[in-house]
Amino acid sequence: MSSPIRHIAANTFREAVRDRVLYNLIAFAVLMCGASILVGQISIGIERLVVINLGLTAVSLFGVVIAIFIGIGLVSKEIDKRTLYTVLSRPVRRWQFIVGKFVGLVGTLAVNTFFMAIGVFLALLYVSKSFQAADGWVLVALYFIVLQFLIMTALALFFSSFSSPLLSAVFAFSLFIIGSFAEDLRGFASMAQGVTRWLATGAAYLVPNFSSLNIISSVAHGQAVAAAFIVSETFYAITYSAMAMCGAVLIFERRNLK
């Protein structure tokens, strides 16, 4: 990784840590402890299913909220506070700044997810008393969640490169919700006729397909995930993020920093 990107990423990570972003882990730990004790008492035979579903959904939601709320401020905050001026007057290209910010936030989310994953596995151990072979697929589900964060962070940066933080948050959240129903949208598109079919198909393929990246339910039921599916989803997430980042860079490169 080129040097300015590495330093900007490290500073973004440090900013997130000092802004107490990782404090969400405390809320997550409380949630997992409470859930583990509660499901042990009210769910008979499906404790694992409930803990995996609840744990992974919480990991996903906590991360998406961080990706959006921190992501939309990564650029706009630097412009508003004029901290960007002293960075871009150095041998740092605008694209390096954007990519550094992206890497820093994705790194923060990866660390956050790592600690949450430990929480999920501890809760699983508490309710099942031992690990099972199928629990390994939980790691794949966690990997897919990180892929979702990759896309969400890139989208948050993309929107924040041309709109206000509030609008960026609205756009990013809307895309997350629509993307979570992308498979349904594609199903609807295939049933529609004429112009509606074209429009629905276009929209269905334009929004990020978060529903195919959400394998929490199948993993909770102990179902295996095909290697080819993992590869294709990885390729999809990286390509989609790269396109969103290219958009963000192209817009930011042309922007006057008033």
Partner 1 sequence: MAAIEILGLSKTYQVGFWRKRPKCALRPLNLNVEQGEIFGFLGPNGAGKTTTLKMLMGLVYPTAGTARILGSKLDDPRMKAQIGFLPEQPYFYDYLTATELLEYYAQLSGVEGAERTRRVRDVLVKVGLPDVAGVQLRKFSKGMLQRVGIAQAVLHDPRVLFFDEPMSGLDPVGRREVRDLMEELKHAGKTLFFSTHILSDAEALCDRVAIIHQGELRGVGAVADLTSSVEGRVEVVWQGSLVPAAVKSLITNCRESGESVRAVVSETSQDAVIDALRRERLHIISVTPLRTSLEEYFVQKLKPAEAAAGVRA
Pick the piece of the chain touching partner 1 (CB under 8 A) from 51-59, 78-86, 173-181, 229-237.
78-86
Nearer to partner 1, 82 or 129 (CB): 82
**Binding status of residue 2 toward partner 1 by CB under 8 A:** no
Q: Helices 136-160 and 47-80 meet at what angle, rounded to 10?
A: 20
**Binding status of residue 87 toward partner 1 by CB under 8 A:** yes
What does R_g of the chain's alpha carbons equal in angstroms? Answer: 20
Nearer to partner 1, 83 or 190 (CB): 83
Using CA atoms, how far apart are residues 167 and 105, in angstroms rounded to an integer? 20
Question: Binding partner 1 by CB under 8 A: which of 83, 190, 196, 223?
Answer: 83
Using CA atoms, how far apart are residues 121 and 142, in angstroms rounded to an integer? 11
| Type of residue numbered 257 | L
Compute how many residues bind partner 1; rule: CB under 8 A.
26
Using CA atoms, how far apart are residues 162 and 152, in angstroms rounded to an integer? 16
How many CB atoms are located within 10 Å of the residue 200 CB?
A: 18
Question: Binding partner 1 by CB under 8 A: which of 41, 130, 193, 256?
Answer: 256
Question: Binding partner 1 by CB under 8 A: which of 1, 27, 34, 85?
Answer: 85
**Binding status of residue 254 toward partner 1 by CB under 8 A:** yes
Residues 8 to 27 in contact with partner 1, rule: CB under 8 A: 8, 11, 14-15, 18-19
Q: Which of 202, 211, 159, 207 is nearest to 183 (CA)?
A: 211
Report whether 216 contacts 57 (CB < 8 A): yes
Using CA atoms, how far apart are residues 152 and 179, in angstroms rounded to an integer? 10
Contacts of 2 (CB under 8 A, 6+ apart): 96
**Binding status of residue 41 toward partner 1 by CB under 8 A:** no
**Binding status of residue 67 toward partner 1 by CB under 8 A:** no
Going by the DSSP 8-state scheme, the letter that residue 45 receives in this structure is S
x/- map, 88-127, partner 1, by CB under 8 A: xxxxxx----------------------------------
Using CA atoms, how far apart are residues 179 and 61, in angstroms rounded to an integer? 14
Nearer to partner 1, 221 or 255 (CB): 255
Nearer to partner 1, 15 or 135 (CB): 15
Nearer to partner 1, 14 or 221 (CB): 14
Q: Which residues bind partner 1 (CB under 8 A)?
A: 3-4, 7-8, 11, 14-15, 18-19, 81-93, 254, 256-258
